[in-house]
């Protein structure tokens, strides 16, 4: 049975990686949420294979996966470019992920989250840093999400 288990603490390696990206985001925004146009994936101090970009439609409360560069956007080995998060709602990470997105948007600032999930007979850990971007500096239009997913082994 698939299940979600909270994991509260970032590992030191996750904290160090995410801190570099967070400082980059702060420089882009100059004390405000940076505009989406400020996001240059070429200059990103983070491996692109660990980055997800979501556009935000607040009126319809949808989050749409956006292509990063020229590569296909995969989420757990599944092509998701152009799909909304709701269309993937059957995935075990969906509920936890959606709640983290809402907290990031309401707080209008960065948000860190860690989750452990059982998928089949395996357990995975997913840590993420969510960084909002806003054309007007206040209302998020785009979210950059840096993730680290680690297989923890078989469940008992």
Q: Give the tens place of pLDDT for each residue, 84-101.
A: 777 766 655 556 666 777
Write down the pTM of the prediction: 0.69
Q: What are the structural domain ranges in the chain?
A: 3-29+49-150
The rounded distance, in Å, linking the Cα atoms of 156 and 122 is: 9
* Alpha-carbon torsion (41, 34, 86, 45), positive or negative: positive
Q: What's the average model confidence in pLDDT over 132-152?
A: 79
SS3 state at 77: coil
116 Rama class: left (phi>0) / alpha (psi -120 to 50) / beta: beta
Query: What was the pLDDT predicted at 75?
Result: 60
Which residue is listed with tokens 């292509």? 67
CATH 3.30.450 fits 3-29+49-150, yes or no: yes
Higher pLDDT, 73 or 47: 47
Please check the confidence at residue 4 and state whether its pLDDT lies above 50: no
Which residue is listed with tokens 């101090």? 45
């Amino acid at each position: 049975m698939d299940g979600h288990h909270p994991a509260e603490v970032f590992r030191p390696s996750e904290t160090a990686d995410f801190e570099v990206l967070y400082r980059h985001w702060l420089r882009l925004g100059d004390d405000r949420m940076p505009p989406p146009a400020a996001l240059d994936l070429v200059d990103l101090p983070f491996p692109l294979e660990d980055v997800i970009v979501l556009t935000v439609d607040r009126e319809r409360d949808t989050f749409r996966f956006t292509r990063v560069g020229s590569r296909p956007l995969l989420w757990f080995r599944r092509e998701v470019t152009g799909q909304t998060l709701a269309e993937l709602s059957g995935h075990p990470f969906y509920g936890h992920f959606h709640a983290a997105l809402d907290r990031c948007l309401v707080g209008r600032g960065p948000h860190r989250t860690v989750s452990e999930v059982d998928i089949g007979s395996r357990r995975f850990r997913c840590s993420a840093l969510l960084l909002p971007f806003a054309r007007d500096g206040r209302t998020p239009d785009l979210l950059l999400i840096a993730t680290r997913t680690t297989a923890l082994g078989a469940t008992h």
